Amino acid sequence: MTDTARVARLTFSAAALTWAAALPLASYAASQSESSLVYVLTAAVYAIGAAICHQRPERSFHLWATQMPVCARCTGIYVGAALACAVPDVARVWWRSPRTVAAIASLPTAATLAYEWITGITPSNWIRAAAGLVLGAGIAMLIRREVN
């Protein structure tokens, strides 16, 4: 692996791990009375969350009586990506086709969306998060593999 590829993999992994950790930490910080620096960092995490997620309260986890910066599905995606980066040797994907990996990783999320659209019933946040976790892990594994 080249030095550039190694740096790219480490940068991606660090970003995935940092973002996944920032989500519950921001919820905790938002529930506290803290310094202005903590407030600024918390506001930044929630602002980024607003840019990438609908943040609907009924579709979001609440920690410390505070809504998380992203919905349950997005939380699952980011945690899944972080887990795939944290344990890359365990979570390797060796299929030849990245399309196959992406399709398989997308199946649980697609199933929850189809269920919701067909029945009009929203799956629980835990189900949506679990489906997102598979998607996030699969895509992160692809990104890490393709950087090689």
Instruction: Return the DSSP state at 57.
Output: G
Each residue's pLDDT tens digit, 79-113: 999 999 998 665 555 566 888 889 999 999 999 99
pTM of the model: 0.90
Total number of domains constituting the chain: 1
Q: Is the distance from CB of 12 to CB of 147 less than 8 angstroms?
A: yes
* Parent domain of 126: 3-147
Residue found by looking up tokens 């946040």 in the block? 125
Report the alpha-carbon distance of residue 39 to residue 30 in Å, rounded.
Answer: 7
